[in-house]
Structure 1
Amino acid sequence: MKNLISKFWAIGLIFLISFNSLYSIDNHLLELKANTSFTFFQLLNQDRVLFEDSVEISDKKISVQDTVIPINSVSLISSNSQFIDKFLIDRKNFFSPIHLINWQTNSFLLDLGLPSNFYDFSLFQADNRSTSFLINNYELNDPLTNIIDLRDLRFDEFESIEIIFPTRSFLLSRYNNPATIVFNEWKRYSSIPYSRIKYIEAPYENLFFDGMFNVNLTKKINFEFGITKHNALGRFINSEKDLWAGKLKSTYYLSNQLNFNLTYRYSKSLARFNEGINLNNPLLEPGEPVENILYDNQRALVINDDAYHKWTNHRINFQTLFKLSDFSLTQMDFYFNQSLREFRDNEHKADSLRVFKNYWSKFLGFELKENANFSFNQLELHLRFEKSLIESPVNDFTFLKKIDYQLMGYAFYELNLFERIKPSFYVKYTGINKIEDIFFSYGTDLTFKISNKVNFILGYSDFDQILSYDEKLFSAITGLKNIRTRIFSGRFSYSTDNLKFNLESYYREAKVPSFVYSDYRSIEYNGSIIKPYPELEKLFGGKFDVQYSFWKVNSTFSVLFNDRIQNFNETTFHRIIQPRFQSRFEVYYRDLLFKSSLDLIAGFRVNIFSSFSARSFSPSNLYFVDVRTYNDTLFNFASIRIPSNFTIDLFASGRVKENAIVYISIENLLDRKFYLVPYYPANDIQFRFGIAWEFYD
């Protein structure tokens, strides 16, 4: 009965919002028709029918008909997001933007310390498989596993990184994930050619190169090209990472009301998996702790010297932006994605069981989004249709091939009252194939701007998080398809010229529709994953930030807290798989030197984390689990406690005459010896150097 009421409530709200928006837009169009007469083709041929006849630039009047004004996509969902801007991306962290995101948000990065192995990035305790990653409005997650390899992205093409407010995250996700990150694409319109070259060098032959070029081929056609090469051999046997990635993009500005974008992205990576240091080591003395040899390249023997995978992605997107007027923007996208992951183990060993697994996923989609802004009302309507083809090995003898159709859409309505109070309401429909796989979700939040210095946000959402294809396969015994999830989240901020104070918190409750008891530990067994789904799971946490600047010195202090409680058949388990407490401290000095030709930043950062329960990484399934085979025996890695620890980094970056950025860092300055995943030694002390050079000719 409760679900039925929720469905009627959601349908009613969509109808009410749609009717209100159409009525208001129609009134605006009637007003326009009274003063303006035009046809559709006249609209395309004129640059600005609904605007003034000219604009003033540098005391000269230039006809708007000769001025190209690019159309930018907008999203109401971003109105209360946290942003990481271009300055932070370019100047504060040359190591990896993933580490930068981790530093700026309430998250934890499980870094194995090897260039080839996966990160398990946990945002608001939502891991890789529960976090959606998008470029603009295009979702990158592979539909088979609901993950991507973040190291395969070209981060230099992004203008900013956006952390969606938790209660709104499910709206942009294919599987209604509770966390979402959007990478906003860098855009440029200029007849002056622009090129950028970036080079980074780090220990263990870790080399990175990125190049990009952008120019207007004609007044109405812009062209962009980018390429990335990353190669790192790693410290141990079978730990290499190799990547080629590229991008081609062309934009056609037919008029100031109609733009077209065609984008192709390609990536192909090789990642080798050695599964960490082997404890059954003849070079390890009896009773000697394994920590003694973790960083000894001569004595440390790895478990696997042959496993690897190759991951190839092709992404094509054709976008149309149509701006009828100042209060209306229509966006249409046609896209195609093909992903092939080839996993191999014991490929060159005649006396071992050889593993050859190919994971295919292809999907073709259409997306339509309408933004309307009228008076104090703002509306965003979104519709997405996808056809997915999944091919995946179940085991050595069974192969799964599945075709699915997904239809999803949401309505987002925001009321702007005097620029002080902004209540928002949103609903979403998701349908997969059969009529019983239909999910309704909804949420609301309130933004209250008390003054120019004080801002407060409070939100709630209720939605079904849908399992990915491989997770459905793992839980085939229970038939579980979705997890009902509720999120409460709030954020309070206070800012002045020199002081910024921020406090945010979240509470997430996940409940399975029909509970089937299972072991509370996740287990990798016979090439598959047995994953526990508690009857009820509660995840909660918060983050406290203080930023203070004085003279030319800037400082940031953060305290993070995260915890979770799981209930299995009325039995409560209180176990955390990431630090409950983290503390971060950063101080840097910024000044203009040498007659303002050098913009210098130099400082240090400290990261402290508490102990937590360990897990192990499964290369074949790209999963972190509690129990898996170790030296031919099932071993419970959750029995290992990762001790608390800390790291200190030094960094400096300088922009030279607006053309070049030079970056130097010393990471893990005190050369701390530890691991976050048994038994993968974290990076020891490392010196990193990078340079990015821009050319305008």
Structure 2
Amino acid sequence: MKIFQLCLFTISLFILAAFSMSAQIKPPEKTEEDSLKIRSDILADTSVVFDSTQSVTAPDTMKPIINPGFISSDISSYRIKKKYIQLNDYRTTSNLITLLPFGYVQDLGWLGQPNEVLIAGNGYNNLSVVENGVVLNNRISNSYEFNRYQSESLDSIYLVPLTQSFLYGNNNQSTVLLYPKIGINTPPYSRLRFHQAPEGEGFVDVLFNALFTSKLNIGFELTNFTVDPRYANSGASHWIGSASMRYMFSNKFNLIAKYKFVDSYTELNGGVDYNFLINNFSEADADEIMYNNFQAPVLYGELNFDSPRYKKVSSNQLRLDLLLQLVDNAFSTLTVYYVDELEEFRQNEKETYSDIPKIINDNSYSLYGGSFHQNYSGSFFQADILANLEVLDSKAQYLYYSNKELWSYSFAGKLKLFPFDFGYTSVFGKYLTYNEKSFSGAGIDAALNITKQFQIYSGYSYYTKPYNLIEIEFGNPKNNSGVSTFHTRLSFSAGTAKLSTGYFRTETNNASFAVIEQSHDMKVSEVSDLFFEDTKNEGFNLSVDYEISNVLIKTNLAYYFTKTSDIENLLPEFTGWGGIYYVDTLFNNNLKLKAGINYKFSGVQNHLLYDFEKSIPVYHHWNNTTNEIELISPLRTNSSFQIDLFVAGRIQEAAIFYFVFENILDRKYYIVPYYPMQARGIRFGLSWEFLD
């Protein structure tokens, strides 16, 4: 597979070079801009998401319509821009999410695994992922795997204020918005990215976007990443492709069509079988063997044998967007979309292991949907409405009673008032019908510019949240789940210093939690029941961005006050990432260099395991002796810390090279038991831009 990726990389290089030489449309002149000046990119941005007054002019003055979106980028939200993404160290989109406040990944140790991504402690079944107004979550489990998203086409990432997250999808407590580049820009643009790392890890992405006529823009992107088994039964291969078309009938009417497919294969070994090691070796020897990928036994699988547990995913997604701007300051978007997804989950398929349950399930669904967004801006207000209709036909083999045709529709609105220059206030609400039941929510927030350097934001909302099909099947809930959220944020900027702090508090009634029947036999990770309880989650975030001379310092910290008891830490006590870099422009402006160290760390948390078929984290088991629900393990993970050496350079505004010496201290640790994190190794890569 490594040879195949190299061939694909080489062929793509020649194809894009040919396009570059034969292009007939001259791109507009570019303004010199230092791409290393990324100090404010991860902190709040005071611009609008997509400035309706800013457009790219084609040769005959035809302009694409850029809808401003349902959320504006003021102090209430966070934005990561493309130029920051390109000069950051990342493997997949999940790594980029950790750059957001309260962003965290329950990392399973190696590329391609279905890592759970959390924002403010909200992950599977509580985090909405939205691309240009359409929710990407799996409609059965209400979860999303970021391995399936093409990071190279991203133009920007937004974190919606926690108080407004319920306005999208099924009223989840956190929402992240993804805006891809393809279909937006009219200048010809192509990009090729490639990286290689130990354990047969390879990644290649080919992106092309061009204005073929004065009205027609066409783009495509193809992504492939693979990794050989580091431990037994831990390999993965993901293919993702997309094609888009924008036709500009006029400056008032645009049509966008997009198709995307996903074809992935992931082996799921369940981590190292530490119980076997501790029962057969001393603790010191067991710890040493656990980090030896050739000797360590895993729960599912053996080296050089067929995989006893894996998941295949095939998905087709089609959407059509009609963009209208019939009058100034008024934008309309009508979207229709279709999703067809199949997950093939296999466990002990050939009945090789007597102690592992046999599971052969094909879980699929078809989704038909439509949405409408209307935006209008006046001199002192902005109004938005968002309507959505979906029809779901689910066919999950682990569901016996809940498979049916399910209709849902929602109506959300927001009114933002800014009669004065020093701040604004907004009110918002939503009504949702899901599975023949009604849910609603409302909220209010406000922002104040105390000075040009100092801003403050606060908001509150309350809403009811529907249960997904798995919760209905395995939990049979009697009451609705209610969520109240308070979120506040302070921002300060002065010269090259940027500082942002945030606090949130969320209280949830009748929140579900999963239970397995056996704790000591970790091989039985299949959820047997769901129960419900009231929960509280609160946390504090600090983001610092400071440049002095040619030294850039970044850090992003989060601390969680959540603790349901003296022994329960269902979230890490703290998380953080950051870096210290030397940045400069060298060789007559031909090289823009960023070199330094990355660091990341996290605090202790309780042991957990995953039901990968249903995308559910599990912390509890049912004790048959006491007939009580207990933690699956009294142990907690140790706090972790890792340092990487990172070098990136942009050459003549056309190519970027990457070099990462990962885990230079060769620390032995895990975040999720027992999935050892990457050992010390070197990863390098290159991205090359054409035509732009």
TM-score (norm 1): 0.84
Q: Give the Cα–Cα distance (whole angstroms) in 1 for the partners of residues 317 and 532 of structure 2.
A: 33
Which of the two has higher C-alpha Rg? 1
Query: CA separation of 1:524/1:249 partners in 2, compared to 1, >3 Å: closer, same or farther?
Result: farther
Aligned to 2:228: 233
Q: Give the Cα–Cα distance (whole angstroms) in 1 for the partners of residues 501 and 279 of structure 2.
A: 50
**Per-residue displacement from partner, 1:603-647 (whole Å, max 9, x unpaired)?**
1122232212111122332222124699xxx99533121011211
Q: Give the Cα–Cα distance (whole angstroms) in 1 for the partners of residues 294 and 279 of structure 2.
A: 9
Does residue 1:69 correspond to 2:71, yes or no? no
Query: CA separation of 1:674/1:282 partners in 2, compared to 1, >3 Å: closer, same or farther?
Result: closer
Q: Which segment is superposed worse, 293-302 or 384-393?
A: 293-302
- The one-letter code of the counterpart of 1:556 is K
8 Å CA contact 2:166–2:173 kept in 1: the answer is yes
Q: In structure 2, the residue corresponding to 1:103 is in which secondary structure?
A: coil
> Once the 2 structures are TM-superposed, how far is the Cα of residue 565 of structure 1 from its aligned partner?
4.6
> Once the 2 structures are TM-superposed, how far is the Cα of residue 197 of structure 1 from its aligned partner?
1.2
- The one-letter code of the counterpart of 1:83 is R
Aligned to 2:554: 556
Aligned to 1:128: 124
8 Å CA contact 1:108–1:578 kept in 2: the answer is no
> Once the 2 structures are TM-superposed, how far is the Cα of residue 296 of structure 1 from its aligned partner?
1.2
Does residue 1:531 correspond to 2:530, yes or no? yes
Aligned to 2:506: 508
Q: 1:592 aligns with which of 572, 585, 594?
A: 585
- The one-letter code of the counterpart of 1:194 is Y
Aligned to 2:424: 422
8 Å CA contact 1:464–1:484 kept in 2: the answer is yes
8 Å CA contact 1:493–1:503 kept in 2: the answer is yes
Q: In structure 1, the residue corresponding to 2:614 is in which secondary structure?
A: coil
Q: Which segment is superposed worse, 185-194 or 488-497?
A: 185-194
Q: Trace 1:568-583 onto structure 2 (pairs within 5 A).
A: 575-583=568-576
Aligned to 1:110: 106
> Once the 2 structures are TM-superposed, how far is the Cα of residue 212 of structure 1 from its aligned partner?
1.2
Q: 1:340 aligns with which of 342, 346, 361?
A: 342
Aligned to 2:7: none
Query: CA separation of 1:635/1:376 partners in 2, compared to 1, >3 Å: closer, same or farther?
Result: closer
Q: Give the Cα–Cα distance (whole angstroms) in 2 for the partners of residues 483 and 429 of structure 1.
A: 15
Q: Give the Cα–Cα distance (whole angstroms) in 1 for the partners of residues 158 and 598 of structure 2.
A: 23
Aligned to 2:468: 468
Query: CA separation of 1:510/1:227 partners in 2, compared to 1, >3 Å: closer, same or farther?
Result: same
> Once the 2 structures are TM-superposed, how far is the Cα of residue 298 of structure 1 from its aligned partner?
3.0
Q: Give the Cα–Cα distance (whole angstroms) in 1 for the partners of residues 97 and 111 of structure 2.
A: 18
Aligned to 1:177: 172
> Once the 2 structures are TM-superposed, how far is the Cα of residue 190 of structure 1 from its aligned partner?
7.2
Unaligned runs of at least 5 residues, structure 2: 1-51, 302-307, 519-523, 624-628
Aligned to 1:666: 661
Does residue 1:92 correspond to 2:88, yes or no? yes
Q: 2:605 aligns with which of 600, 612, 615?
A: 612
Between the two proteins, the alignment pairs up a number of residues equal to: 619
Q: Which segment is superposed worse, 116-125 or 371-380?
A: 116-125
Aligned to 2:30: none
Aligned to 1:295: 291
Query: CA separation of 1:286/1:601 partners in 2, compared to 1, >3 Å: closer, same or farther?
Result: closer
> Once the 2 structures are TM-superposed, how far is the Cα of residue 537 of structure 1 from its aligned partner?
1.2
Q: Give the Cα–Cα distance (whole angstroms) in 2 for the partners of residues 205 and 523 of structure 1.
A: 35
**Per-residue displacement from partner, 1:254-298 (whole Å, max 9, x unpaired)?**
000000000001111101101111232599534545321112133
Does residue 1:449 correspond to 2:443, yes or no? no
Unaligned runs of at least 5 residues, structure 1: 1-50, 567-571
Q: Give the Cα–Cα distance (whole angstroms) in 2 for the partners of residues 150 and 559 of structure 1.
A: 22
Q: 2:248 aligns with which of 250, 253, 256?
A: 253
Q: Give the Cα–Cα distance (whole angstroms) in 2 for the partners of residues 451 and 207 of structure 1.
A: 48
Q: Trace 1:370-519 onto structure 2 (pairs within 5 A).
A: 370-394=374-398, 398=400, 400-434=402-436, 437-476=437-476, 478-480=477-479, 482-512=480-510
**Per-residue displacement from partner, 1:14-51 (whole Å, max 9, x unpaired)?**
xxxxxxxxxxxxxxxxxxxxxxxxxxxxxxxxxxxxx9
Q: Give the Cα–Cα distance (whole angstroms) in 2 for the partners of residues 284 and 203 of structure 1.
A: 30
Aligned to 2:360: 356
8 Å CA contact 2:278–2:286 kept in 1: the answer is no
Q: Give the Cα–Cα distance (whole angstroms) in 2 for the partners of residues 228 and 189 of structure 1.
A: 19
8 Å CA contact 1:266–1:315 kept in 2: the answer is yes
Query: CA separation of 1:620/1:530 partners in 2, compared to 1, >3 Å: closer, same or farther?
Result: same
Query: CA separation of 1:287/1:228 partners in 2, compared to 1, >3 Å: closer, same or farther?
Result: closer
Aligned to 2:675: 680
Does residue 1:603 correspond to 2:596, yes or no? yes
Aligned to 1:625: 618
- The one-letter code of the counterpart of 2:531 is P
> Once the 2 structures are TM-superposed, how far is the Cα of residue 77 of structure 1 from its aligned partner?
2.1
> Once the 2 structures are TM-superposed, how far is the Cα of residue 247 of structure 1 from its aligned partner?
0.5
> Once the 2 structures are TM-superposed, how far is the Cα of residue 499 of structure 1 from its aligned partner?
1.1
> Once the 2 structures are TM-superposed, how far is the Cα of residue 581 of structure 1 from its aligned partner?
2.4
> Once the 2 structures are TM-superposed, how far is the Cα of residue 115 of structure 1 from its aligned partner?
2.5
8 Å CA contact 1:220–1:253 kept in 2: the answer is yes
8 Å CA contact 2:598–2:645 kept in 1: the answer is yes
**Per-residue displacement from partner, 1:557-597 (whole Å, max 9, x unpaired)?**
3432113254xxxxx67622222123444211111111110
8 Å CA contact 1:563–1:576 kept in 2: the answer is no
Q: Give the Cα–Cα distance (whole angstroms) in 1 for the partners of residues 184 and 530 of structure 2.
A: 49
Query: CA separation of 1:114/1:628 partners in 2, compared to 1, >3 Å: closer, same or farther?
Result: farther
Aligned to 2:213: 218
Q: Which segment is superposed worse, 543-552 or 595-604?
A: 543-552
Query: CA separation of 1:415/1:562 partners in 2, compared to 1, >3 Å: closer, same or farther?
Result: same
8 Å CA contact 1:616–1:628 kept in 2: the answer is no
The RMSD of aligned alpha carbons is: 2.7
> Once the 2 structures are TM-superposed, how far is the Cα of residue 447 of structure 1 from its aligned partner?
1.0
Query: CA separation of 1:573/1:380 partners in 2, compared to 1, >3 Å: closer, same or farther?
Result: farther
Q: Give the Cα–Cα distance (whole angstroms) in 2 for the partners of residues 676 and 637 of structure 1.
A: 16
8 Å CA contact 1:369–1:383 kept in 2: the answer is yes
Q: Give the Cα–Cα distance (whole angstroms) in 2 for the partners of residues 336 and 56 of structure 1.
A: 29
8 Å CA contact 2:124–2:615 kept in 1: the answer is no
Query: CA separation of 1:628/1:359 partners in 2, compared to 1, >3 Å: closer, same or farther?
Result: farther
Q: Give the Cα–Cα distance (whole angstroms) in 1 for the partners of residues 359 and 496 of structure 2.
A: 58
Q: In structure 2, the residue corresponding to 1:324 is in which secondary structure?
A: coil
Q: In structure 1, the residue corresponding to 2:668 is in which secondary structure?
A: coil
Q: Give the Cα–Cα distance (whole angstroms) in 2 for the partners of residues 250 and 366 of structure 1.
A: 19
Q: Give the Cα–Cα distance (whole angstroms) in 2 for the partners of residues 189 and 162 of structure 1.
A: 17
Q: Give the Cα–Cα distance (whole angstroms) in 2 for the partners of residues 406 and 283 of structure 1.
A: 51
Query: CA separation of 1:310/1:548 partners in 2, compared to 1, >3 Å: closer, same or farther?
Result: same
- The one-letter code of the counterpart of 2:414 is F
Q: Give the Cα–Cα distance (whole angstroms) in 1 for the partners of residues 244 and 183 of structure 2.
A: 12
> Once the 2 structures are TM-superposed, how far is the Cα of residue 312 of structure 1 from its aligned partner?
1.1
Q: Give the Cα–Cα distance (whole angstroms) in 1 for the partners of residues 462 and 566 of structure 2.
A: 24
Query: CA separation of 1:552/1:112 partners in 2, compared to 1, >3 Å: closer, same or farther?
Result: same
- The one-letter code of the counterpart of 2:645 is L
Q: In structure 2, the residue corresponding to 1:100 is in which secondary structure?
A: helix
**Per-residue displacement from partner, 1:72-103 (whole Å, max 9, x unpaired)?**
12124233310011122111123233223213
Q: In structure 2, the residue corresponding to 1:268 is in which secondary structure?
A: strand
Query: CA separation of 1:351/1:126 partners in 2, compared to 1, >3 Å: closer, same or farther?
Result: closer
Q: In structure 1, the residue corresponding to 2:339 is in which secondary structure?
A: strand
Q: In structure 1, the residue corresponding to 2:85 is in which secondary structure?
A: helix
8 Å CA contact 2:183–2:244 kept in 1: the answer is no
- The one-letter code of the counterpart of 2:497 is L
Q: Which segment is superposed worse, 579-588 or 413-422?
A: 579-588
**Per-residue displacement from partner, 1:344-392 (whole Å, max 9, x unpaired)?**
1112335645321011111101111111112212100111111111111
> Once the 2 structures are TM-superposed, how far is the Cα of residue 673 of structure 1 from its aligned partner?
0.4
Q: Give the Cα–Cα distance (whole angstroms) in 2 for the partners of residues 123 and 524 of structure 1.
A: 29
- The one-letter code of the counterpart of 1:431 is T
Aligned to 1:641: 636
- The one-letter code of the counterpart of 2:471 is E
Q: In structure 1, the residue corresponding to 2:324 is in which secondary structure?
A: strand
